[in-house]
Structure 1
Amino acid sequence: MTTTAAQPAWAERLTGIDLTELVDRAPLMTRVDRKYLIDAACLPPIVDALAADPDSRTRVLEIEGRRTFSYRSSYLDTPRLTTWYAAARGRRRRFKARVRDYCDTGQRWLEVKTRGPRGTSVKRRIAVVGQQERLGPEQTRFVAEVLATERIDPALADELQPSLVTTYRRTTLHHHDAVRECRITLDSDLGFTSPAGVTRSAPGLVVVEVKAGPSPMPVEHLLWRHGHRPITTSKYGVGMVWTHPELPALKWRRALARHRCAATPTSQGAPS
């Protein structure tokens, strides 16, 4: 089943780029991610500044006239929350597994993210057919092979089960300077649902993620001038704490506070 995401007005202010060119110029399956949390109301002047750039260094992904797309990610973890705790404690050898739905096209992918050298993220993925939430033999084998390659216990793949669903709308930008290119994703209308049915949402917040190399891009200098600094955050990390009050906030405490400030009144969780 496919859905069509509503398109924010600011997405119309930039020149479009098609998917083929974006993938060719900025594939970035291995990259350094820097994240920013921005109130949705603060985003338009930042986009205006990008659109006014005389060098036209920023373009927005456009597919069949659409510039904003609906995503759904079903995260997988062990009953002991092995992947969540490894991320929360900053373990060097850790991974994240999820089934991602591209709701506008009906595509599904099983994605496994691991840590590369010098703080990079490495993503591997395979297409998934069907709507099952749990992994089948082929998907389990794929995860195990990735873990073995990264010297992580491959037996963990057999324990994975659904642990959190996140939903959001994504707009993707292509950005460059004289020698470097990157992707920037802007995720809005964030929603989180636990297997027990606990739901939280932060519609007033946008997660801006710069997927680039180790050095800041020009767009990040623009964000800094507007008072925005990188923050340690993770949809899975924050979403798990917010929907599971028994979990400690740990390194996501600041990000969790921002999500709660942007929450709908009925979506507030108990403090942790």
Structure 2
Amino acid sequence: MNKVKTILNTFSPISLKEMNGVSLMKRTDTKFVIHTHQLISILEDLKKDYKVLEINKDRIMSYSSLYFDTAENKFYKDHHNGKNNRIKIRQRKYVESNLCFLEIKQKNGKGETNKSRIPVTDFETSLNATSKKFISSITNTEYDLIPSLWNQFNRVTLVNVKNKERVTLDLNLNYKINEVEKRFENLVVIEVKQERFNRKSKIIKSLKVIRQNPYSISKYCIGMISLYNDLKYNIFKKKLIRINNIIA
């Protein structure tokens, strides 16, 4: 982390307000997974083409999320079973900004992600009436939701200086529910957020140099199968093996 901080200090900063023009609430997300030691060379290659989000002099942010699902784990199962139109519902706190939102991510069959959100005061382990109304208005369904997963991680956000593109680098992933906990040290999940996939993007090219191709992965689903022993996870088994090989 010290090496990451040192390199990030060589990037030009961008404020949260300036970044709003690249919010990309409707977008295409492309993910990659690498070991932390590979991140150093990637960052060195990007510093002329990207700015780094800085809030109160912090460039590595702390995120905390609480995911919700039905008692039957419908959202997880929809993802596992390959359903094109699927949903994730979570509350996320942006710690350095002291902001908390209820967020709904909807993915369609074209690979596009639509994100809707409203501010909330803090985490609600039992959703209040306003939150339930918002969820039903966006999903057109009334779900009986319960907390399914706590997730904490650190994030670096990069913004392309020329193109409408954001890149998030998630590190130190930690999952917990009740007394069960799982950490993924040395893993970096990179997510490139664009209006449409652009293989000419500098970070896509940099990752290709180190032989890293797009890799579909859900941090939520990996967390679920790591904490719950009774979930079907056939489709994610190879992904979990690959992650464990990366961080070994």
Length-normalised TM-score, structure 1: 0.84
Question: Can you give the 5+ residue segments of structure 2 that lack an aligned partner in the other structure?
Answer: none
- 1:101-250 alignment, distance < 5 Å: 101-116=93-108, 118-148=110-140, 154-156=141-143, 159-177=144-162, 180-194=163-177, 196-212=178-194, 213-216=196-199, 217-250=201-234
Superposed CA RMSD in Å reads: 1.9
Could you tell me which residue of structure 1 aligns to residue 68 of structure 2? Answer: 76
Q: Please give the alpha-carbon distance, in whole angstroms, between the structure 2 residues aligned to 1:75 and 1:202.
A: 18
Cα distance, 1:133 vs. partner?
1.7
How many pairs are equivalent? Answer: 245
* Preserved CA contact (<8 Å) 2:49 2:202: no
Q: How far off is 1:214 after superposition?
A: 2.5
Query: Partner of 2:225: helix, strand, or coil?
Result: helix
Question: Could you tell me which amino acid in structure 1 is paired with residue 164 of structure 2?
Answer: E
Q: Matched residues in 2 for 1:165 and 1:263: separation?
A: 21
Residue of structure 2 equivalent to 1:270 = none
- Mapping 1:80-99, distance limit 5 Å: 80-99=72-91
Offset of 1:116 from its aligned partner? 4.0
Contact 2:167 2:192 in 1 (8 A): yes
Give, in whole Å, the separation in 2 of the partners of 1:263 and 1:79: 32
**TM-fit CA distance, 1:262:** 6.0
Match of 1:35 in 2: 31
Q: Structure 1 counterpart of 2:30, which letter?
A: R
Greater RCO, 1 or 2 (C-alpha within 8 Å, sep 6+): 2
Moved more, 134-143 or 248-257: 248-257
Q: Which amino acid aligns with 2:7?
A: W
Partner of 1:17: 14
Q: Percent identity?
A: 28
Could you tell me which residue of structure 2 aligns to residue 267 of structure 1? none
SS across alignment from 1:23: helix
Q: Deviations over 1:188-210 (max 9, x none)?
A: 0000112x321000121110000
Q: 1:254 aligns with which of 204, 224, 238?
A: 238
Give the conservation status (yes or no) of the 8 Å contact 1:109–1:126: yes
Q: Any idea what SS the aligned residue of 1:48 has?
A: helix
Q: C-alpha separation between the residues in 2 aligned to 1:225 and 1:249?
A: 32
Please give the TM-score of this superposition, normalised by the length of structure 2: 0.92
